Amino acid sequence: MTEQSKPHEWWHGATIYQIYPRSFLDTTGNGVGDLQGIVRRLDYVRDLGVDAIWLSPFFKSPMRDFGYDVSDYCDVDPLFGSLRDFDELVTAADKRGLRIVVDQVYSHSSSEHAWFVESASDRSNPKADWYVWADPGAEGGEPNNWQSIFGGPSWSWSHERQQFYFHNFLSEQPDLNLHNEEVQNAIFDIARFWLDRGVKGFRLDALHCLMHDVELRDNPDRAHVPPEAHKPFHRQEHVFDHAHPAVPGFLERIRRLTDEYDSIFTVAEVGSWDPLPLMREYAGPSRLSSAYSFDFLAAPRLDAAAFQRTVAAWPNDPESGWPSWAFSNHDAPRVATRWANGVSYGKVGELRIKLIALLQFSLRGNVFLYQGEELGLSQADVPFERLRDPEGIVHWPQTMGRDGARTPMPWRSSEPNAGFSMAEPWLPVDEAHVARTVDAQTNDPHSALSFFRRVVRFRRNSPALLHGDLEFLPSPEDSLLYTRTSAEQRLLCGFNLSPETIALDIDAKWSLDTVLHSGRPPGCPRSGTVVLEPGHGFVAGVRV
């Protein structure tokens, strides 16, 4: 049976809208978004035409890393509301045909989690082996040379236990020992807790960090250090602290658990240097539904050749796995700044925002759409004194940091803080975003929001885009040309990323019906040729 003839799960080709709860809508007047704010804006999300919502962490946490340091996996932090609020959100979303997908952080917890407090108390307690502990190295220092992603060594000293503990991120985020079957079983209990409350999927955070080399061997140095490497972490090959070969076995246990429920979606976040092998290893019939990486999230510009290589690495063969694509999220500078010159919002920037939208939604796989992306928001300008991101503060000004992608969602241009909160927001609202509020764009047929709505809905009703094969065709430099084909439909997708008008050669027997275009529709001066202006893109139906 071919991929196109199989019955498809709801998530196959789905558009999933990521909400960063802290920055969506504040209903309590404390300057921080909350679960009730999401409930109030569900009609907006529904009207985008998306299939599901991915919620970034809302669990109980001391917020050292804004929720990715979990102190209770089975409760809502009071900052965001309560379990009753979460249940209301799930019910309200379900009534609107929206599914809820939640973050799960299994590689580490908060140092304030009761598990870690007990584990650190001595070396003989019941949870003594629930985290990664080691004696000092030969000279009394760290056990090995492993480096934290956030900067500095991956080891911190516990005075109580008189040992070092391992952490891939902040020292307040100790790594769980997933080699311990008791820890795995505790993780599965957490998953069941949320599945029993009605969630329809999990985004599994930092899966490449899930397990460690039990021999604690040193990582080798990288042979070629990239010029943008600005911290010791970038100077190592992460052979022993990441991508442990036992991870797939753990994921198979996750899959068996989720298969006990109805049509659950699971997606791996893979942030390694060479993500493709891990993505394929983690996603598949007996493991997770899908995987995504930082190939596009970290790309400083839209390069046609690199783009084609990344997409072509996921062939149409269903045995090769099913990808997911994210162009923006809470961890990366917004795509409108990286790829669209969106800071100035000039005519070229607006055109580019629509081209990027059409490009993402024409790909084979799932689409992750980050809140505000549909408004064409650029990376916000957050002054150093207002930064909250611990990584951004440490590495300022070498990187853009993460705060600029996490600023409040702008709802109404005439209200304080663009309608996000009546109080001072936890991060400032960028003035450039006030002109791009939801209310300013909703009734403008030429706005980015209106264009995104058209694109999302077209994809949702297109068998070729949801499930069809993708085949690249030859095209000039700085352009992309490919077909999306299902049993019911064939589409031609073309994108001119260059500053010059280009001619695209197509089959002379084809007749094109342009259904979506990001600028002016393409010209067809003669059979077998399509002319596309600079910065324009299209998706056209193909008739023979």
Q: Is residue 357 part of a domain?
A: yes
Nearest in space to 16 (alpha carbons), one of 105, 103, 106: 103
- Say if residue 447 is in the same domain as residue 308: yes
Where do we find the tokens 């089959």?
507
Give every residue of the chain whose pLDDT is below 50, as ranges. 1-5, 343
Query: Can 228 be counted among the known catalytic residues?
Result: no
Q: Is residue 175 part of a domain?
A: no
- Say if residue 405 is in the same domain as residue 535: no
Q: What is the dihedral of CA 416, 419, 422, 425, to 10 degrees?
A: -90
Residue 473, domain CATH: 2.60.40.1180
Residue 344: predicted pLDDT: 54
CB 471 within 8 A of CB 491: no
Q: How many structural domains are present in the chain?
A: 2
- Say if residue 374 is in the same domain as residue 429: yes
Instruction: Supply the pTM of this predicted model.
Output: 0.96
Which residues, other chains included, contact 305 with Cβ-Cβ below 8 Å and sequence gap of 6+? none
**Two structure tokens written together for 394:** 């440490």
- Say if residue 529 is in the same domain as residue 495: yes
Residue 135: predicted pLDDT: 98
Q: Which of 205, 350, 374, 389 is catalytic?
A: 205
**Two structure tokens written together for 527:** 């059979």
- Say if residue 508 is in the same domain as residue 375: no
- Say if residue 194 is in the same domain as residue 343: yes
Q: Is residue 224 part of a domain?
A: no
What are the tens digits of pLDDT across the range 274-288? 899 999 999 988 999
Q: What is the dihedral of CA 180, 170, 191, 367, to 10 degrees?
A: -130
Q: Which of 196, 215, 260, 385 is catalytic?
A: 260
- Say if residue 391 is in the same domain as residue 303: yes
Last residue of one domain, picked from the residues 413, 443, 459: 459
- DSSP secondary structure letter of residue 75: E
d(CA 471, CA 451): 25
Last residue of one domain, picked from the residues 407, 440, 459: 459
Q: Is residue 123 part of a domain?
A: no
Helices (H), 297-385: 304-312, 335-338, 347-361
Q: Is residue 58 part of a domain?
A: yes
Q: Is residue 297 part of a domain?
A: yes
d(CA 524, CA 289): 40
Query: Can 205 be counted among the known catalytic residues?
Result: yes
- Say if residue 471 is in the same domain as residue 410: no
| Chain Cα centroid distance, residue 70 | 19
- Say if residue 478 is in the same domain as residue 450: no
- Say if residue 447 is in the same domain as residue 514: no
- Say if residue 513 is in the same domain as residue 421: no
Domain range enclosing 534: 467-543
Average predicted confidence (pLDDT) for the chain: 94
